[in-house]
Amino acid sequence: MMRDVDAMLADVRAQLAPLRGARVLVAMSGGVDSSLAAALLLDAGAEPVGVFMHLWDYAPDESGCCTLSDARDARRVAEKLGIPFYVVDMRKPFAAKVVEDFASEYARGRTPNPCARCNRFVKFGALARLADELGIHWIATGHYARKTELASPLLRRARDAKKDQTYFLATTPKEALARAVFPLGGFVKDETRALAAAWGLPTAHKRESQDVCFVPDGDRMRLLARIRPDGLAPGPIVEQTTGRVLGRHKGLAHYTIGQRRGLGLAGGPWRVVALDAAKNAVVVARAERLVMRAVRVGEIVWFAEVKDGEVVQAKLRYRMPLAPMRVQREGDTLRLVPLAPVEPSAPGQVAALYRGEQLVAGGIVEEVKTESVCAGYELAGG
């Protein structure tokens, strides 16, 4: 339910009160969310410094997040608010840590999450180092996330469940999140637009970009063909139990675990159960459904203690509903066992673990164990 303007502002002013008089570096992308984040900081008595990050060179006819027109929109908002504004060149760290990883992961038969990498290495990595050079401690973004306390690294899910972005922040180091400011965590999207319109911000009704920012047309294959063409090399499609070759695939980057369409195989239904990069093979099994039996997670960032055997709520894809999973600690990795049937994730995706609303850990999916479910078969909960 959308609140009136006074109610909207009361909570966020209290949240941001400790920042009165403090300089805050605001990552302004030219969208409504980061625009309002800057406005709310100014309203709370902070001294926001707007920064637009030049991440990628677009063709003249391309549109997407962080284009030249977005830079102009961010500057217009800064001028409206009367705050300093700068454009900074972040193309090198973005290419090295986000784009190259994106292409390499697909070439390895994995499915990466570039937004999480951007948060970890660019927004709260390279941008944090810039803030240090400027003598600025705090960094604000337009993410929909809440903090338990302003100076704490602990995150809670946003009030707007549909916009919650704690999943994309789950692999960001605690030290970086301790200096992060998320003014929009207590807002629903309609409130963000209404308040931005009430303040006359030029981006109030701007359409959101839904694509990966450096793949604005959604055609990742064209990018991969230029950067990592080895991920597009054709190879065999093999049956899981017998190893029999059933057909040819177009390159590992075209496929993901659980996929059933576009395989071009007779005698199905067939689903992808694994991508074998060493053999450049797509592994399939005959199944009506494919569910996860266990997931191994590495590169873990801990935000709170999680006991061996504890049941947490886990999200292994952004659009996946939270699902109860039992945690089994195995050295530096975790094994997650779903307590009920869950559609499979894929290696390379982020795993975010929650206890109630609080984010307790995040990591990268390294391995997925699946089970094929045929028609008429009842799967028992794990």
Say how far apart CA 43 and CA 250 lie, in whole Å.
Answer: 54
pLDDT digit string, tens, across residues 26-57: 999 999 999 999 999 999 999 999 999 999 88
Q: Which of 159, 178, 156, 175 is nearest to 167 (CA)?
A: 156
CATH number for the region 289-373 comes to 2.40.30.10
CATH fold match for the domains 5-198 and 289-373: no
Q: Give the pair of three-digit tokens for residue 296.
A: 């191994």
Which DSSP string corresponds to 57-73? ---TT---TT-HHHHHH
What DSSP state is assigned to residue 194?
H
In sequence order, the β-bridge partners of residue 339 are none
Q: Point out the catalytic residue in the list 65, 66, 115, 118.
A: 118
Those residues with Cβ within 8 angstroms of residue 161's Cβ, 6 or more apart along the chain or in another chain? none
pLDDT digit string, tens, across residues 334-377: 999 999 989 899 999 999 999 999 999 999 999 999 887 654 33
Q: Which helix (H) or strand (E) holds 93?
A: helix 91-94
8 A C-beta contact, residue 196 and residue 37: no
Say how far apart CA 333 and CA 66 lie, in whole Å.
Answer: 35
65 is catalytic: no
118 is catalytic: yes
Instruction: Give the architecture-level CATH label for domain 233-286.
Output: Roll (2.30)
- In the predicted model, what is the mean pLDDT of residues 238-250? 92
Q: Point out the catalytic residue in the list 65, 66, 213, 374.
A: 213
The pLDDT of residue 207 is: 86
Would you list the domain boundaries of the chain? 5-198, 233-286, 289-373
Q: Is 47 exposed, middle or buried, given 0-12, 13-18 or 19+ CB atoms closer than 10 A?
A: middle
Better pLDDT: 281 or 291 = 281
Residue located via tokens 């980057």: 253
Report the predicted TM-score, pTM, of the whole model to 2 decimal places.
0.91
Say how far apart CA 88 and CA 103 lie, in whole Å.
Answer: 24
8 A C-beta contact, residue 123 and residue 171: no
CATH number for the region 5-198 comes to 3.40.50.620
